[in-house]
Structure 1
Amino acid sequence: MFHLIKRDVILQKKQLMIFLPFILFFIMMDAHPALTFLVASFFIPFNTYAYDEKAETNILLNSLPYTRKEIVASRYLGAIFYMIIAIGLTSAALFSFGKLFTMTDIALGSGLFLLFAAFTFPLFYILKPGYITMAVIIVFIILSRIGPPIVAFLVEHFSVITDFVMNLSIPILYTGSAVLIMLIYLMSWGLSTAIYQRKVF
């Protein structure tokens, strides 16, 4: 299964050349560090899906000595692996440019990435190839724009929930959020596995 994760890097050699300039663009535009971490984490896993969608590699993958469970697992574990690398590189880039960031920014960016991945990865197994990547990118851009106003609206109109969350201690809040996100991610993993095992190529 490690070879399947490694394959993503090998296939994206040329695209990885624009990874750092892509991240530097967000840094130079003075984007919020959490958004920069989110976009950096997004880069490799979704590029892999986009490549596979164009090349229709599922037929090839299923001819290799890997089970369908292992193929799906490589995508979900690979996303976490590349997210960690992306966060490390982004942190180094932000530090070298003297941009301040906190562990909260990293936690927020990685948490949002895992949530977005959890909701979109199954789409690549449900929908027909051809338009999925574009749809995911459009949804990502829309959510980036309307997300903050929606959160502000919820904070203003659901004060009971907001007060409850604000009264939680930082360790409990972080731990609870991490557990919830990982549960959603694992549920998405299970859903993708179930769909992929029944898919006919």
Structure 2
Amino acid sequence: MFNLIRKDFVIQKTQILLFIPFIMFFAIFADHMSPAFVFFLASTYIPLNGYIYDEQVESNILLNSLPYTRKEIVAAKYIGALAYMILSIGIASIILYLFNYEFMIRDISIAIGLFFIFSAFAFPLFYILKPGYIGAVVLVGVIITAVVLPPFFRFLAENLTVITDFLTSLSTITLYLSGAVISIMLYLTSWMVSQFIYQRKVF
């Protein structure tokens, strides 16, 4: 399974070389942007590129001819995404620090939560959508996440005072722990859904 995880890193050499300039761009020109969103973009960079590449070259046909079970193929994607998310956020933290782009641990925590939630909904789509649509759907999904979520949360804060009062009554630790549990559960559920879909997919 390790070789399946390493595959995404090996086949994306060119894209990975663009990762550092990609983060540097935000560090230099997007100082008004939330650090949490920069970390979120960094965390999804390698996993999403891996899925898009697999779709373009139809690598699932090759993978299913190798001595790996379909359960292992899906597991490698989800475990690999976690590994690359941690690596990407670590590199992004160093770059932002070197460019004096201010951020806090809270921003990293929020980005990790967003990664889990976004991946939980996006990853199963890669096993459902027809080839040729994945890249467009991912791009639209990232844009929608960036554009819609902040106004949505502001709307909830302004209009649903019962919910906001309840949330503000909770301690910071409770909020973070609750968010972590919910996002991880969504990710694990997504893993099971993807496995169910992939087991029945015909190549």
Identity %: 53
Q: CA deviation at 1:34?
A: 0.4
The corresponding residue for 1:9 is 9
Counterparts in 2 of 1:111-126, with a 5 A limit? 111-126=113-128
Query: Which secondary structure state, in structure 2, belongs to the residue aligned with residue 100 of structure 1?
Result: coil
Unaligned runs of 5+ in 1: none
Cα displacement string for residues 20-72 of structure 1 (whole angstroms, at most 9, x for unaligned residues):
00011111121221011000011000000110110001010011111101100
1:77 corresponds to 2:79: yes
TM-score norm. by structure 2 comes to 0.97
Q: Distance in 2 between matches of 1:66 and 1:166?
A: 48
Q: CA deviation at 1:159?
A: 0.9
Q: Distance in 2 between matches of 1:194 and 1:127?
A: 15
Counterparts in 2 of 1:29-40, with a 5 A limit? 29-30=30-31, 31-40=33-42
The corresponding residue for 1:21 is 21
1:66 corresponds to 2:68: yes
Query: Which secondary structure state, in structure 2, belongs to the residue aligned with residue 122 of structure 1?
Result: helix
Q: Distance in 2 between matches of 1:105 and 1:160?
A: 26
**Equivalent in 140, 143, 160 of residue 141 of structure 1:** 143
Q: Distance in 2 between matches of 1:182 and 1:197?
A: 23
Q: Distance in 2 between matches of 1:188 and 1:35?
A: 22
Counterparts in 2 of 1:100-115, with a 5 A limit? 100-115=102-117
1:175 corresponds to 2:177: yes
TM-score norm. by structure 1 comes to 0.98
Q: CA deviation at 1:109?
A: 0.9
Q: Distance in 1 between matches of 2:138 and 2:96?
A: 27
Q: CA deviation at 1:143?
A: 2.3
Q: Distance in 1 between matches of 2:21 and 2:183?
A: 30
Task: Say what the alpha-carbon RMSD is for the aligned residues.
Answer: 0.8
Q: Distance in 2 between matches of 1:191 and 1:67?
A: 16
Higher mean alpha-carbon deviation, 25-34 vs 116-125, is at 25-34
Q: CA deviation at 1:115?
A: 0.6
What count of residue pairs does the alignment treat as equivalent? Answer: 201
Unaligned runs of 5+ in 2: none
1:189 corresponds to 2:194: no
Query: Which secondary structure state, in structure 1, belongs to the residue aligned with residue 64 of structure 2?
Result: helix
The corresponding residue for 2:134 is 132
